[in-house]
Amino acid sequence: MPRHPELYQWIDTIAMHFPSLSKPQALGLALWSFGMVVARSCSLTAVADVLSPLLGQKYNTLRERLRDTYREAGAKSGRRRADLCVTECWAPWLAWVLDGWAGRQLAIAMDATSLGDRFTVLAISVVYRGCAVPVAWKVLKATEKHAWKPEWLALLGRFRGLLPEGWTVIVLADRGLYAKWLFGAIVELKWHPFLRVNVQGSFRPEGWCRWHPFCSLVPAEGRRWQGRGTAFSGKKTQLPCTLLGCWGEGHNGPWLVLTDLAPECADACWYGLRAWIEQGFKHSKRGGWQWQHTRMDDPARAERLWMAIAIATWWLLSVGGEAEAGADTPLDIKEPSVPGAARRQGKRWRMVGIFQHGWSLIVAALLNHQLLPVKPGRPEAWPGLTEINGVTLAVYAEGGGG
């Protein structure tokens, strides 16, 4: 195999961050993620086609090596066969994402995405500069009924004890995922749920005698409400919590968010960070790795392929984010942000997304025969709190992480 210093550098990077992997497993993830960046695709055919002439190997030989990364042990040839255990990779993977992270604040989003009638993916992602990178996931067959509760609990359970003391973690989820058990599971991790709920419910603030519909607390555009109390009047659904309500300008209705944080320590506008996971899903498909074209139909194999997708995604985001952090102005007009954040920061909209910019910088390094850029995460400043005319608003504090 021709010696390419850049590729060997990337193989060493993978092996360093995943020390428990065997050499073939680390090599497989390195080839997949490296090839995905060069081919701008996670297709087996595309990755094998771009790596074959680069490495001077026969196409079919390289294709089988790539397939061995996601195949189960019984489907591989040789005596020392083993599965790539994705769940055992998640602890070092999270450590990699947070290596060098500025501040001790972290926003995590939970959501599901589908691939036609083939797969449903339950994903937990770290949101980062308008984008997101998955740090835990479960792939299910879309055509088979399957309870999500045990899968979500198992995914969350993998994070128990992984973050050191002193970190503040908020977990964002949309209305379709709200459940009392999910709220409790997040609190058990000593994290803070930030779960949006529908307006068809009621809330009894502390010290009040009667229940009040959610919509009566935030009745019109421009109105806000936040306070402690009990959500939902049913005996089995009652939940002591903080309600954060905000009806933003131009929105069809209010954001109603339940959390365990004190009212003075949180803001409903933080829920805007949840939209960044949608960009992460977009990058796995048409906006990046073209996963929608896969012919794979085995969920377990898809979970292993997602490990390479996650690595390649973070590689681009971290490199692009580092470049943006060092620039005078941010880099994608299409990437959503917390409502009003760009105005408060006084910055212009990004003209190039950090995903695209990271790809450009990596390809430029390859063409110039330079060392590959491998950067730590440089999150934007964490949304802080301020008070204007007696109304608490979310603003971006100096420093910190997010």
Q: What is the dihedral of CA 144, 146, 241, 275, to 10 degrees?
A: -40
pLDDT at position 343: 40
Centre a 10 Å sphere on the Cβ of residue 59 and count the other Cβ atoms it contains: 13
Instruction: Please provide residue 299's backbone torsions phi and psi, each rounded to the nearest 5 degrees.
Output: -60, -40
pLDDT of residue 402 exceeding 80, the answer is: no
Q: Above pLDDT 70, what percent of the chain?
A: 88
Q: How far apart are CA 15 and CA 78, in angstroms?
A: 22
pLDDT of residue 370 exceeding 60, the answer is: yes
* pLDDT-derived band at 351, boundaries 50, 70, 90: low
Separation in Å, CA 147 to CA 113, 151, 195: 15, 7, 20
Q: How far apart are CA 134 and CA 158, in angstroms?
A: 14
Q: Which of 282, 267, 256, 251 lies closest to 344, judged by CA? A: 267
* pLDDT-derived band at 74, boundaries 50, 70, 90: confident
Would you give the DSSP letter of residue 189?
T
Instruction: Please provide residue 212's backbone torsions phi and psi, each rounded to the nearest 5 degrees.
Output: -130, 135
Q: Mean pLDDT for the chain? A: 88
Q: What are the pLDDT digits (tens) for 354-369?
A: 999 999 999 999 999 8
Q: What are the pLDDT digits (tens) for 207-220?
A: 898 999 999 999 99
Answer yes or no: are the C-beta atoms of 396 and 345 closer than 8 Å: yes
pLDDT of residue 342 exceeding 80, the answer is: no
Q: Return the sign of the alpha-carbon dihedral for residues 91, 97, 101, 104.
A: negative
* pLDDT-derived band at 384, boundaries 50, 70, 90: low
For residue 268, give both structure tokens.
């409903």
Residues 6+ apart with CB under 8 A from 24: 68
Name the β-bridge partners of 392.
387
pLDDT of residue 244 exceeding 50, the answer is: yes
For residue 390, give both structure tokens.
């007696």
pLDDT of residue 161 exceeding 80, the answer is: yes
Instruction: Please provide residue 317's backbone torsions phi and psi, each rounded to the nearest 5 degrees.
Output: -65, -40
pLDDT at position 291: 94
pTM: 0.89
Q: How far apart are CA 353 and CA 66, in angstroms?
A: 29
* pLDDT-derived band at 331, boundaries 50, 70, 90: very low
pLDDT at position 329: 55
Q: What is the dihedral of CA 340, 344, 350, 356, to 10 degrees?
A: -80
pLDDT at position 289: 96
Q: What are the pLDDT digits (tens) for 163-214?
A: 888 899 999 999 999 999 999 999 999 999 999 999 999 999 998 989 999 9
* pLDDT-derived band at 158, boundaries 50, 70, 90: very high
* pLDDT-derived band at 82, boundaries 50, 70, 90: confident
Q: What are the pLDDT digits (tens) for 97-146?
A: 999 898 889 999 999 999 988 999 999 999 999 999 999 999 999 999 99
For residue 257, give both structure tokens.
């968010």
Helix (H) / strand (E) containing 255: strand 255-259
Mean pLDDT of 147-158: 96
Q: What is the dihedral of CA 192, 193, 199, 202, to 10 degrees?
A: -70
Amino acid at 299: P
Q: Which domains does the chain have, with CATH numbers?
A: 90-280 (3.90.350.10)
* pLDDT-derived band at 248, boundaries 50, 70, 90: confident
Q: Is residue 383 helix, strand or coil?
A: strand
pLDDT of residue 349 exceeding 80, the answer is: no
Answer yes or no: are the C-beta atoms of 71 and 369 closer than 8 Å: no
pLDDT at position 339: 45
Residues 6+ apart with CB under 8 A from 391: 224
Name the β-bridge partners of 256.
245
Answer yes or no: are the C-beta atoms of 238 and 351 closer than 8 Å: no
